[in-house]
Amino acid sequence: MGSSGSALRVCADHRGGINWLSLSPDGQRLLTGSEDGTARLWSTVDGQCCALLQAESQTRSLEVIGPELADTAPPTLCLWILVANDQLFSSSYDRTARVWTVDKGQVSQEFRGHRNCVLTLAYSAPKDLPQDPCLEAAMGGGLLVTGSSDDTAKVWQVASGCCHQTLRGHTGAVLCLVLHVSSHTAFTGSTDATVRAWDILSGEQLRVFREHQGSVICLELTDRLLYSGSADRTVKCWLADTGERVRTFPAHRHSVSALKYHAGTLFTGSGDACARAFDAQSGVLQRVFRGHTFVINCLQVHGQVLYTASHDGALRLWDVRGLQSVPPLPRRPAAKRSLSRLFSNKVACAAPVPLQPA
């Protein structure tokens, strides 16, 4: 069943649920966004809060490139914020996504076309797109992908604000999405219990992942492996390029609300207020982290420390030393495919999403 994790520190400065937790690229700062209308900047060296950022309304979620950019986030009710190429992208309940200039905090582009709130987004930079002279004008600013509760995802030309493609196929809200930039593929998870893969250039639906029995709440992409967390209380691991299911991770007592892959370990957060560490290759549950009182909304890992943030308003730090790789469990081999080389992958981030009831 896995051993119990040891808490290093509990940070209870927020007065509302924490909806997002982001780690700066240098690993020195964490940024938390809370329903108390604040964002807080934390040091990963000593776990102390080193800055308080006050907003005019709820801070739903934040994704930052560096700590110096934290105070540029616009004080609007946003579901998702990311910073890339010196631009800040936000999504909102008002059915729009926007681009803001980081230095002045002004809107430089607005994306309108969704028929309901925009829940999640991801950005593909110009350097990651085909270098085709015919497409240079359209894609010179990169592409923004948005997911909405109108059951669609859309691909936008950032430079012009025009809709490049509408990705239709889901029969429920698109709660989460991740991009595989080199293949120009978006993976979307939905309340219709499926994950779908799309070519963001052509808009073609490439494949459908169908085995979940509840809403797909979160996604994590690590090279050729896709992890999906669901309201059916499981995580499933898939071969991203074929849709073949590799493994299922059970043991959760409520919806799986957050995922993070790190150094051979899959960390999960759940509506049962526990975080868990699984050996990603074997599927063995190694450790359970208990202490939160409400759903865990987000996870980050830095060094030997796991950071969990919850709707209970607490940020908890856990010691993850001693997690060892476990030999894989016996599994019937797939036809014409070897899985042995697929489990040494680097981490990629999944978009934050609202929790769905079990």
Q: How many structural domains comprise the chain?
A: 1
Does 208 map to a domain? Answer: no
Does 95 map to a domain? Answer: no
pLDDT digits (tens, 9 = 90+) for 291-306: 999 999 999 999 899 9
pLDDT digits (tens, 9 = 90+) for 175-194: 999 999 989 999 999 999 99
Q: Which two tokens stand for residue 190?
A: 């939905």
Give me the domain span that covers residue 64.
21-72
Does 167 map to a domain? Answer: no
pLDDT digits (tens, 9 = 90+) for 86-112: 677 888 888 999 988 767 778 889 999
Does 310 map to a domain? Answer: no
Give residue 80's pLDDT.
57
Does 26 map to a domain? Answer: yes
Q: Which two tokens stand for residue 264?
A: 């051979």
Does 270 map to a domain? Answer: no
Does 66 map to a domain? Answer: yes
Comparing CA positions, the residue from 147, 135, 268 lying closest to residue 202 is 135
Give residue 30's pLDDT.
86
Instruction: Tell me how far apart the alpha carbons of residues 18 and 26 are, in angstroms, rounded to a whole number.
Output: 22
Of the listed ranges 17-26, 185-194, 222-231, 310-319, the one predicted with least confidence: 17-26
Parallel/antiparallel/unpaired status of strands 3-4 and 285-289: parallel
Comparing CA positions, the residue from 278, 180, 186, 292 lying closest to residue 229 is 278
Give 44's strand partners: none
pLDDT band at 326 (very low <50, low <70, confident <90, very high): low
Comparing CA positions, the residue from 76, 73, 87 lying closest to residue 40 is 73
pLDDT digits (tens, 9 = 90+) for 229-250: 999 999 999 999 999 999 999 9
Q: Which two tokens stand for residue 183?
A: 């293949």
**pTM, 2 dp:** 0.82
Does 324 map to a domain? Answer: no
pLDDT band at 131 (very low <50, low <70, confident <90, very high): confident
